[in-house]
């Protein structure tokens, strides 16, 4: 092999002066021959804190074997993961978005210190994935991402969102405690990421479209031979990338990000996709803004009937071929850039050349001439409530315009309890603030309040806006990422109970029905809140983090 395949590892194992390092590596299983091989770091996000990642230790071992079989030396190391599904609705959820940065920092730290020549990263829950990609972009060494795979549906076609919404149904009195427990006990049958087009599957699909995972990686069951083979193939691909000196900067280009945006729009993907793609582009030095989602969304339709707004689950999309046939359709329609390089060493068009279309009788992916929505469900809204922008997820099923009366809450738990208590009624716009990147800190997901709204049967009659963000499982008339956030004195901090608010997903406007003089009067009276945390990771994050409109990144 050419010397560049050991561009980094040779610096820590070659020559007499590196005997101490070699001595330590011998203790973890290196042989004389291994010191001559490229070292491939296998970043595992395995943990028993969530079903999304509980099987990834086995996937990491498969990737290590694949690296060894391809002529490299695989070295497995771990980073953290947290569980949004468990943490939703309490203070611990503030660590969720923060974990994206911790994961990126830790992978960069290990790979940078240990001089790996290439990387395979394996993620399951939704912050692992952008965390892995941010680290890969920063390091810019030959790398492939592997998605941990999707979970199977629970009994009666249930999933984690079914449980959250059952809580709202129980609060309303539509189901009793026994029925709630029945959903709870059966909705999560085993390993894998949450089963709809929630954030995990959104990001897996985006990363495949970006060209940073192997074809098909985003649409495989967590427990399957296909997923094990994906791990082996990823390691073999890294070895080829090393031979050809192909790095993330060659793949994660502006056009590749446009492809990723296009695919998540067609799939009805999560609003978190906006936040994470902006952060990934920032790490790669690619110029991408929230307005690009608007421009691309004008020409790209919503095609997938997937949860949370639709009917089907990811495992059912897996069964008919995943996203590869969809991407082939988009490419043939001129909606994807086929000349983008991918981790296979081939272009996107070359990868898709022999892909067969979906079965004729499938109902999950609509044709381009019969979309669910003719343009994007991801709406970037602006107006006097969000001068720097906000992100809405409007499929059209909940309508495209809403005017209502503000009910204001200064924290997510406060709003959740109010909804469960029946304090929120038809015609309300629930305003949840001081939950932004800095103010939360950590930009909590609003899955508990949005699910409670749906469970109480108010999905068509209540809107919700926040400077926090949403789970990919949230649906209804919801607007997040309102920027500037309340903690920075953004207009959302000035809203009072009874104010009228209009959200318009046609004109992409979000408006507070007050004149500028009244806003200025309130602004003069506003006082910045004291930081909620003074020490530790949340305090550090609050000091470093930027606006949600730019991806909530901690790099300057």
Which sequence positions are flagged as catalytic?
471
For the stretch 345-360, what's the b/e string if a residue is b when 16 or more beta carbons lie within 10 angstroms of its beta carbon? eebbbebbeebeebee
3-state secondary structure of 93: helix
How many Å from the N-terminal Cα to the C-terminal Cα in the chain?
38
Closest CA to 83 of 39, 23, 43, 125: 125
CB-CB neighbours of 517 under 10 Å:
8
- Residues 391/376, Cβ–Cβ less than 8 Å: no
CA-CA distance, 540 to 554, in Å (whole number)? 10
Angle between helices 128-139 and 95-114 (to 10 degrees): 40
CA-CA distance, 528 to 320, in Å (whole number)? 52
- Residues 487/438, Cβ–Cβ less than 8 Å: yes
In the block, tokens 């071929």 appear at 321
Complete edge-to-edge strand list for the sheet that includes strand 118-123:
73-78, 39-44, 118-123, 143-147
CA-CA distance, 540 to 74, in Å (whole number)? 34
- Residues 417/451, Cβ–Cβ less than 8 Å: no
Q: Which residues pair with 432 in a beta bridge?
A: 409, 466
- Name the E strands within 183-285: none
3-state secondary structure of 350: helix
The torsion angle over the Cα atoms of residues 386, 391, 393 and 396, rounded to 10 degrees, is 50
Closest CA to 415 of 448, 441, 460, 462: 448
CA-CA distance, 432 to 413, in Å (whole number)? 10
Closest CA to 408 of 494, 306, 489: 494
Q: Tell me 151's DSSP state.
A: P
Pairing of strands 428-432, 73-78: unpaired
Written as six digits, the tokens of 369 are 């001439």
CA 135, chain centre distance (Å): 15
Closest CA to 192 of 230, 220, 161: 220
């Amino acid at each position: 092999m050419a010397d560049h395949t050991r561009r980094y590892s040779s610096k820590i194992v070659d020559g007499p002066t590196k005997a101490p390092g070699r001595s330590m590596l011998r203790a973890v299983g290196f042989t004389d021959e291994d010191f001559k091989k490229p070292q491939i770091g296998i970043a595992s996000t395995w943990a028993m804190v969530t079903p999304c990642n509980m099987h990834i230790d086995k996937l990491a071992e498969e990737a290590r074997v694949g690296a060894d079989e391809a002529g490299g030396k695989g070295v497995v190391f771990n980073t953290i993961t947290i569980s949004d599904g468990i943490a939703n609705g309490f203070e611990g959820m503030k660590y969720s978005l923060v974990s994206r940065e911790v994961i990126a920092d830790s992978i960069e730290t290990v790979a940078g210190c240990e001089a790996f020549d290439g990387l395979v990263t394996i993620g399951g829950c939704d912050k692992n994935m952008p965390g892995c990609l941010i680290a890969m972009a920063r390091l810019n060494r030959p790398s492939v991402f592997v998605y941990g795979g999707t979970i199977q549906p629970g009994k009666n076609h249930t999933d984690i969102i079914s449980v959250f919404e059952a809580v709202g149904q129980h609060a309303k009195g539509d189901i009793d405690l026994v029925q709630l427990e029945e959903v709870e006990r059966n909705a999560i049958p085993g390993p894998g990421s949450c089963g709809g087009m929630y954030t995990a599957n959104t990001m897996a699909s985006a990363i495949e479209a970006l060209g940073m995972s192997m074809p098909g990686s985003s649409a495989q069951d967590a427990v399957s031979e296909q997923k094990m083979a994906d791990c082996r193939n990823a390691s073999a691909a890294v070895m080829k990338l090393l031979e050809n000196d192909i790095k993330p900067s060659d793949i994660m280009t502006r056009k590749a990000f446009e492809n990723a945006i296009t695919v998540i729009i067609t799939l009805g993907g999560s609003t978190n996709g906006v936040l994470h793609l902006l952060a990934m582009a920032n790490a790669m030095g690619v110029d991408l803004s929230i307005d690009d989602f608007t421009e691309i969304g004008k020409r790209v339709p919503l095609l997938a009937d997937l949860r949370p707004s639709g009917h089907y689950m990811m495992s059912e999309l897996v069964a008919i071929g995943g996203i590869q046939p969809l991407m082939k359709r988009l490419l043939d329609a001129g909606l994807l850039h086929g000349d983008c390089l991918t981790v296979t060493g081939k272009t996107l068009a070359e990868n898709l050349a022999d892909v067969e279309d979906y079965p004729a009788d499938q109902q999950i992916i609509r044709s381009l001439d019969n979309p669910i929505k003719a343009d994007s469900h991801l709406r970037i809204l602006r107006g006097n409530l969000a001068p720097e922008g906000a992100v809405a997820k409007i499929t059209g099923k909940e309508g495209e315009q809403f005017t209502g009366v503000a009910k204001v809450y200064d924290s997510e738990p406060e709003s959740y309890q109010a909804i469960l208590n029946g304090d929120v009624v038809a015609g309300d716009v629930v305003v949840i603030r001081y939950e932004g990147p800095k103010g939360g800190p950590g930009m909590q997901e609003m899955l508990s309040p949005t699910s409670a709204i749906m469970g109480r049967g108010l999905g068509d009659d209540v809107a919700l806006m926040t400077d926090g963000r949403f789970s990919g499982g949230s649906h209804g008339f919801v607007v997040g990422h309102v920027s500037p956030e309340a903690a920075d004195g953004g207009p959302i901090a000035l809203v009072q109970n009874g104010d009228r608010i209009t959200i318009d997903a046609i004109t992409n406007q979000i408006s507070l029905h007050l004149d500028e003089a009244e806003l200025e009067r309130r602004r003069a009276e506003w006082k910045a809140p004291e930081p909620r945390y003074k020490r530790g990771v949340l305090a550090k994050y609050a000091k470093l983090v930027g606006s949600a409109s730019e991806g909530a990144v901690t790099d300057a």
